[in-house]
Chains A and B, each alone.
Chain A
């Protein structure tokens, strides 16, 4: 009897563990892949250590912000092709505000830049909602607008950045093995995303992304949620722009390849392009994996340009695997 109760008590726990595992299978897979890649890097290059991880985290920082920005919009069923342009615009805005200004003013400039990012995102979102033009067309058009605006702010690379901002992602926290760029990334993303995710508006993002009509019928405010997703995208893009400022110390008005990289990263990170599925942590890990591929190729003496090829192949392979998994799951 007691055995029976014990097993019946235990069964739900193991079932819960299984369920959590199954639900986060993709994330776990990514973590394992990242660990394997780090191990592989260590084997290829025995001197790879804290310094390598630090430079990895710093190189990944702007891309990770871009990926997170893209992920939020895609989860809510949209897509934002203007992420790269928004990063360029916020980058030059921050750089021109901080040019020849004191360290203290840097704080004001950072806050203003983040507000600018939110404003850009809200503009994207409102235009998507009001015009009812497909998201991809609206954000494509606005990517021209934001890139042009970036050129208006700074015609050539220039401006400056506060020293504390440049120092922020350098070095480690407590030990050199925990790169501060990674901590910075997790703190920034977590501070915005974690309070939101379990609340009504966070759930609404997933609801609108997975089934717009059902969400509407359950009383989810579609328009407001869409705008919220784009506003968050703008905010994270602004963080990405500031990360560029911190890394380069100046503002560069031409958009980098961040829009494409962000799409590649979220696909690998387990966010479904159809919306409603995936999380932000997976995208961050995916960015690290994609960066490590580049590092490893360099260590192996392979032309790093092949990394671009491999990134493309990974994207396709991931989507194919995802489709096969979905097909096999459907009949069950």
Chain B
């Protein structure tokens, strides 16, 4: 007894502080992420003194926003143990359909039709995953093939109609106020707050965690898992559509493969943000920081005039390193 008291009263041994650190990292993954973000900013200041300005911050955030929206699709689906690889094709579809319909139908109808198409693609994903129990990886991969094929055909039909990105989309997606406040924050802040609130405080959000943590237990406690999944993939499709519209606002040119190259980056943002690909663990706040980190990193490597090659190598290495660090921290509990 006294021995026990003796050990407890002595200053905590090294392993205990390590334990506390681990717990901090495990329960608040956002803290080390913010540290990493800070370190990157410091690194930026060291290698390129003087570039850090409100303008610079604005451009980083402007580019991070659409990525963060795309990564929201991944975060939500990964929470249930799924993944949505169709977001690239679906987001490009939103951008392209919108741009081709604007000349004839006007921007409002064009946007509504584009988002409806995205919702339909999401619904198909949800029916496949939720009702027919197709593996999400296959279902969404197949859906991206279907959407891409249909869009390529659509492109040939609409080639004469011409396409135009309306000024509203350009302003919202790519514009800035006072030189440094990106307009897409107007869209993103409510969206992000809504997603985080929904994940923490609504039944739907909690069900996503429940399904991802233990689907069988969720089903046995009365959750209609298929309904959750169908709703989830519809939401994911709609979010992808919004992301596509923001992207086209930045690039100003719509193509049917506009967003394809960001799919894996979006998965990376969610993984870096601490969402487990096996489901049940993670959140959107981490994903947002992950998206900002990746946006900053892309910018840094561009500024350093690294060739595209080196950029990709560094990108991959960092994703792997962060994922490995997470796995180490969270599994040695």
Where the two chains meet, the residues of A that have a C-beta atom closer than 8 Å to any C-beta of B are 79, 81, 127, 131-134, 136-138, 140-145, 147-152, 155, 260, 263-264, 267, 273, 303, 305-313, 315-316, 319-320, 323
Contacts and interface: CB of A to CB of B under 8 A. Distances in A.
B31 interface: no
B320 A319 contact: no
Given A133-B327, A140-B268, A323-B134, A316 B308 contact: no
Contact of A313 (B146, B319, B331): B146
Interface string B293-323: 0000000000000011111111111011001
26 contacts: A131-B324, A133-B323, A133-B326, A137-B319, A144-B312, A144-B313, A145-B317, A145-B320, A148-B310, A148-B313, A148-B315, A148-B316, A150-B309, A151-B312, A260-B144, A264-B145, A273-B135, A303-B156, A305-B152, A306-B149, A307-B149, A312-B146, A312-B149, A316-B128, A316-B132, A316-B142
Given A140-B268, A140-B319, A316-B134, A145 B149 contact: no
A151 B264 contact: no
A152 B309 contact: yes
B320 A142 contact: yes
Contacts of A137: 267, 271, 277, 319-320, 323
A287 B163 CA distance: 37
Contacts of A260: 141, 144-145
Contacts of A316: 128, 132, 134, 138-139, 142-143
A287 to B, nearest CB: 15
B323 A141 contact: yes
Given A260-B145, A320-B132, A127 B152 contact: no
Taking chain A's interface residues, is the majority helix, strand, or loop, or is none over half, making it mixed? helix
Contacts of A142: 316, 320
Contact of A264 (B142, B268, B308, B324): B142
Given A141-B317, A303-B156, A312-B144, A148 B132 contact: no
Pick from A133, A140, A149, A264 the residue with the most CB of B within 10 Å.
A133
Interface string B206-218: 0000000000000
B193 to A, nearest CB: 28
Given A273-B138, A309-B153, 5 more contacts: A136-B83, A141-B319, A311-B142, A312-B145, A316-B128
User: Which of A143, A152, A309 has most chain B Cβ within 10 Å?
Assistant: A309
Contacts of A131: 320, 323-324, 327-328
B224 interface: no
A140 B312 CA distance: 12
A127 B264 contact: no
A131 B139 CA distance: 28
Contacts of A138: 320, 323
B331 A132 contact: yes
B191 interface: no
B129 to A, nearest CB: 10
Nearest to A313: B146
Contact of A267 (B138, B144, B308): B138
Interface of B: 83, 128, 132-135, 137-139, 141-146, 148-150, 152-153, 156, 264, 267-268, 271, 277-278, 307-317, 319-320, 323-324, 326-328, 331
A308 B145 contact: yes
Contact of B309 (A81, A134, A149): A149
A191 to B, nearest CB: 30
A152 B306 CA distance: 11
Contacts of A132: 324, 327-328, 331
B185 to A, nearest CB: 28
Q: Which 3 A-B pairs have the closest CB atoms?
A: A148-B312, A308-B149, A144-B316
Contact of B324 (A133, A309, A313): A133
B236 to A, nearest CB: 17
Contacts of B323: 131, 133, 137-138, 141
A98 B11 CA distance: 66
A323 B132 CA distance: 8
Contact of A140 (B132, B145, B267): B267
A163 to B, nearest CB: 29
Given A132-B327, A134-B277, A148-B312, A141 B141 contact: no
Contacts of B146: 308-309, 312-313
Nearest to A273: B135
A143 B311 CA distance: 13
A264 B149 CA distance: 15
Contact of B135 (A151, A305, A319): A319
Contact of B316 (A145, A155, A312, A315): A145
A305 B313 contact: no
A303 B154 CA distance: 11
Report which residue of B137, B139, B308, B316 has the largest number of chain A beta carbons within 10 angstroms of its beta carbon.
B316
Contacts of B316: 141-145, 148
Nearest to B331: A132
Contacts of B141: 260, 263-264, 312, 315
A291 to B, nearest CB: 15
B309 A148 contact: yes
B211 to A, nearest CB: 18
A133 B327 CA distance: 6
Given A134-B277, A143-B264, A305-B152, A311 B137 contact: no
A276 B100 CA distance: 47
